Amino acid sequence: MGKNIIEKVWQQHIVHEEAGKPDLLYIDLHLVHEVTSPQAFEGLRLNNRKLRRPDLTFATMDHNVPTQNLPTINDPIAKKQIDTLAENCKEFGVELADMGHPDQGIVHVIGPQLGLTQPGKTIVCGDSHTSTHGAFGAIAFGIGTSEVEHVMSTQTLWQAKPKTLQIEVTGELGFGVTAKDVILAIIAKFGIDVGTGHIAEFTGKAIQKLTMEERMTICNMSIEAGAKAGLISPDDTTVEYLRGRKFAPQGEAFEEATLYWKSLASDADATYDRTVTIDSSEIEPFVTWGTNPSMGTGISKTVPTSSAYSDESDRQALSKALKYMDLQEGTPIEDIEIQHVFIGSCTNSRMHDLRAAAAVIQGGKVAPGVRAIVVPGSYSVKQQAEAEGLHQLFIDAGFEWRESGCSMCLAMNEDVVPAGERCASTSNRNFEGRQGAGSRTHLVSPPMAAAAAIAGHFVDVRKVMNVPV
Amino acid sequence: MEPINIVDSIVTPLNRKNVDTDQIISKEFLKRIERTGFGQYVFYHWRFDENHEKIEEFVLNQPKYDGSTVLVAHDNFGCGSSREHAPWAILDYGFHVIIAPSFADIFHNNCFKNGILPIVLPVKQVEELLEKGEQETLAISIHLEAQTVKAGGKTYSFEIDPYYKKMLINGWDEISLTFQYEEEIAKFEEKSKQFV
Ligand code: SF4
């Protein structure tokens, strides 16, 4: 019987296997950022331990960094955290892309960009969106700070073998439908805990056709479906993306690696503990209306009414979410007005996303009363966007063009949505207060965000782009 | 890590599904570089309003639950980010046990690393505890070794991974345990394929 990629990669990384215990799994790449690492480095120091493999560890600064007026950080506690990372990296010999470094950026944007992320690797980071790296056919998952310290000390983790979940996306995506809409539709259809206890593999024709950047958007949000990790089998698209990247193998070693990578793809007769299927024809541009990522619907629809739910606790959740979001049941999604637009985050801040958003502007201007910011995912994305003149398109339309970082995705820096105001955001979480206490987040794709910026409310991007729906 | 085995307390009922880590510890409190001192910030925006005044109705602010060390919540507790600040805050506030019908994976893992016992019980039983816990002060007694929960005259039993059970009861530090496998790790490194 064939094997799926999850089983193959897992099996290859088992250092120790014993009944009654989780597997001791080897970790090939450990990515580090300033928020979840200080206590782990401190643990090493307190226990007089070394960092076992600095060469398999790479650090950057993203969560706290300001996106304007660099390098000044006004918040002294944030500054301390950032300085602490720099000191720790120096002390333990970890390569660091710090503020202003050409490799700096959101940890899940730079890993792939630098070629650190490769098929078949086990990749961890003290950050739940580590699942992004699964787009390459890596087993990549978020860990807590104790586990960060464990990896630093031993380059391994104890991990119970997860179950496998296949999420199949059949058919072809319609015009104006992006990877973001696919993953939002998956979460809305199957729920935010469909993946709990599982690693998910995304399969199907619609997935195979996606570029690497789009695949990253999908895998990024597998954690929002509850999955420990989400991945996609490597293919020619994967290989071509990696060719020539800074930390990817070069020359002959690359060809050798290619053979190995491709051998990891799930076998045609592979099986999974569970399979769910969605057809592309069900998916239209999506907007979330509630306070978790499963509370979303198509742009042509309305905010749901309680009669749509048979379960009492679901009705309560609906009314609680709508109260927080200040929305009425049955309101057409297109009628929801926004005051902020955020294009950025590890979900949607790569070149593909910025190009797709810019394409929607078409000479329009950001609506009066709307503040729209664009935050490239990394320094090098910013450079490239500027080389292509995208920044000018945004600036001319009235968007703010910022330095790279997590920014308004979690509002740890100064980019905050004020209480009671509404934001169309290309990020991944619409939890209460995520973008600032009392803020209201609607998750959308980059083109949908750009279209909303110009209209001042949500609009069907397919109409804006002048193509019949 | 503090060992944990027998816990006698009263139930704090938090009857919500999908309590995410942003709710447990909001990002403005993640900037500390220590592991301690997060308890004061737990569920901050549910406990306090914009003016930092206590919201009296919120369960953690009701005096009858003072001193409770057992939190009972609904499905998918701890979903969202991997921030270990969430279990740190819960522990620092005083909870040693969390009971729910299901937990998000990373949070669940993080509990074991910090000496918090996460107990999974069937939805019906959890709802029973929540309901009774809301009506009265419900005494609860947890025995990890025996894998039992006693409350309201009933005994419930729960499953737990034997490895983590041992770790919790003994208060073991996982890293020192793993060092016993150093040789195997080194061997693995030698033979493993790396394209770096
Ligand atoms: S962009 Fe947002 S989700 Fe991504 S790593 Fe940063 S804070 Fe986390």
Interface predicted TM-score of the whole assembly (ipTM), two decimals: 0.90
Interval A250-288: pLDDT, tens: 999 999 999 999 999 999 999 999 999 999 999 999 999
Q: What is the DSSP letter of B20?
A: B
Residues of chain B with Cβ-Cβ distance to A253 below 8 Å are 195
> What is the secondary structure of A169-212 as a DSSP string?
EES-PPTT--HHHHHHHHHHHH-TTTTTTEEEEEESHHHHTS-H
What is residue A1's predicted lDDT score, i.e. its pLDDT?
82
Whether the per-residue pLDDT at B41 is higher than 70: the answer is yes
The residue to which tokens 């599904």 are assigned: B17
The residue to which tokens 């009363």 are assigned: A369
Does the beta-carbon distance from A196 to B102 stay under 8 Å? yes
CA dihedral for A393, A365, A407, A76, sign (positive or negative): positive
Euclidean distance between CA atoms A450 and A454, whole angstroms = 7
C-alpha distances (whole Å) from A413 to each of A84, A299, A427, A435 are 17, 31, 15, 10
Q: What is the mean pLDDT of residues A65-77?
A: 83
Closest protein CA for atom 2 of ligand 1:
A409
Does the beta-carbon distance from B31 to A81 stay under 8 Å? yes
Probe residue for ligand 1, chosen from A406, A408, A431 as the CB with the greatest number of ligand atoms within 8 Å: A406
The whole-chain average pLDDT of chain A stands at: 95
pLDDT grade, residue A312 (50/70/90)? confident
Q: What is the mean pLDDT of residues A121-129?
A: 97
Amino acid identity for residue A67 in this structure: T
Euclidean distance between CA atoms B189 and B196, whole angstroms = 13
- Find out whether B50 and B35 touch, Cβ atoms under 8 Å: no
Closest protein CA for atom 6 of ligand 1:
A406
Instruction: Decide whether any atom of ligand 1 lies within 6 Å of the A129 Cβ.
Output: yes
Does the beta-carbon distance from B109 to A49 stay under 8 Å? no
- Which residues neighbour A257 within 8 Å (Cβ) at sequence distance 6 or greater? A118, A248, A249, B195
What is residue A466's predicted lDDT score, i.e. its pLDDT?
66
Using DSSP's 3-state secondary structure scheme, residue A313 falls into: helix
Residues of chain A with Cβ-Cβ distance to B189 below 8 Å are 26, 155
SS3 string of A386-447? HHCCHHHHHHHHCCEECCCCCHHHCCCCCCCCCCCCEEEECCCCCCCCCCCCCCEEEECCHH
* Distance from Cα A435 to the centre of ligand 1, integer Å: 11
Q: What is the mean pLDDT of residues B12-35?
A: 91
What is residue B193's predicted lDDT score, i.e. its pLDDT?
62
Does the beta-carbon distance from B163 to A21 stay under 8 Å? yes
Which residues of A are annotated binding-site positions for [4Fe-4S] cluster? 346, 406, 409
Using DSSP's 3-state secondary structure scheme, residue B39 falls into: helix
* A residues 4-33 lying closer than 8 A (beta carbon) to B: 12, 15-16, 20-22, 24, 26, 28
Domain count, chain B: 1
What is residue B1's predicted lDDT score, i.e. its pLDDT?
84
Which tokens go with B153?
A: 């005259």
Whether the per-residue pLDDT at A468 is higher than 60: the answer is no
Euclidean distance between CA atoms A456 and A366, whole angstroms = 8
Interval A424-462: pLDDT, tens: 999 999 999 999 999 999 999 999 999 999 999 999 999
- Which residues neighbour A250 within 8 Å (Cβ) at sequence distance 6 or greater? A244
Closest CB to B31: pick one of A42, A78, A434.
A78
Euclidean distance between CA atoms A85 and A66, whole angstroms = 16
Closest protein CA for atom 4 of ligand 1:
A346
Does the beta-carbon distance from B178 to A153 stay under 8 Å? yes
Q: What is the mean pLDDT of residues B166-175?
A: 93
Interface test with B, best of A221, A431, A440 (most B CBs within 10 A): A431
Return the CATH number at B124.
Answer: 3.20.19.10
Does the beta-carbon distance from B106 to A260 stay under 8 Å? no
What is residue B137's predicted lDDT score, i.e. its pLDDT?
94
Alpha-carbon dihedral angle through residues A180, A183, A189, A192, given to the nearest 10 degrees: -120
Arch. (CATH architecture) of A286-463: 2-Layer Sandwich (3.30)
Nearest CA to CA, how far is A256 from chain B (Å)? Answer: 9
Does the beta-carbon distance from A16 to B184 stay under 8 Å? yes
Closest CB to B17: pick one of A81, A317, A419.
A317
- Which residues neighbour A48 within 8 Å (Cβ) at sequence distance 6 or greater? none
What is residue A78's predicted lDDT score, i.e. its pLDDT?
85
Beta strands in A317-383 (DSSP E): 340-343, 371-374
Instruction: Decide whether any atom of ligand 1 lies within 6 Å of the A63 Cβ.
Output: yes
Does the beta-carbon distance from B79 to A16 stay under 8 Å? no
Q: What is the mean pLDDT of residues A191-220?
A: 97
Interval A378-426: pLDDT, tens: 999 999 999 999 999 999 999 999 999 999 999 888 899 999 999 999 9
Whether the per-residue pLDDT at B195 is higher than 80: the answer is no
Q: Which residue has the higher pLDDT, B2 or A330?
A: A330
Whether the per-residue pLDDT at B151 is higher than 60: the answer is yes
- Find out whether A135 and A142 touch, Cβ atoms under 8 Å: no
Whether the per-residue pLDDT at A297 is higher than 70: the answer is yes
Ligand 1 atom closest to Cα of residue A428: 3
Q: What is the mean pLDDT of residues A112-118?
A: 98
CA A154 remoteness from chain centre: 27
Interface test with A, best of B82, B165, B173, B174 (most A CBs within 10 A): B82
Do the domain assignments include residue B1?
no
Whether the per-residue pLDDT at A185 is higher than 90: the answer is yes
Strands A163-170 and A274-279, bridge-based pairing: parallel
What is residue A469's predicted lDDT score, i.e. its pLDDT?
41
pTM of the model: 0.94
pLDDT grade, residue A311 (50/70/90)? confident
Which of B163-173 are b and which e, b meaning 16 or more Cβ less than 10 Å from the residue's Cβ?
bbbebbeeeeb
Proportion of chain B above pLDDT 90, given as a percent: 88
Instruction: Decide whether any atom of ligand 1 lies within 6 Å of the A346 Cβ.
Output: yes
* Distance from Cα A129 to the centre of ligand 1, integer Å: 7
Where do the structural domains in chain A lie, given as residue ranges?
A: 5-275, 286-463
Interval A334-359: pLDDT, tens: 999 999 999 999 999 999 999 999 99
Whether the per-residue pLDDT at B196 is higher than 50: the answer is no
Topology of the domain comprising A5-275? Aconitase; domain 3 (3.30.499)
Q: What is the mean pLDDT of residues A82-94?
A: 96
Ligand 1 atom closest to Cα of residue A345: 1
What is residue A208's predicted lDDT score, i.e. its pLDDT?
98
Residues of chain A with Cβ-Cβ distance to B34 below 8 Å are 39, 42
- Which residues neighbour A299 within 8 Å (Cβ) at sequence distance 6 or greater? A284, A285, A286, A287, A333, A334, A448, A458, A459, A460, A461
Range of the domain at B140: 6-195
Q: Would A5-275 and A286-463 be classified into the same CATH topology?
A: yes
Q: What is the mean pLDDT of residues B154-176?
A: 94
Amino acid identity for residue B40 in this structure: Q
CA-nearest residue to B87 within chain A is: A144
CA A363 remoteness from chain centre: 29
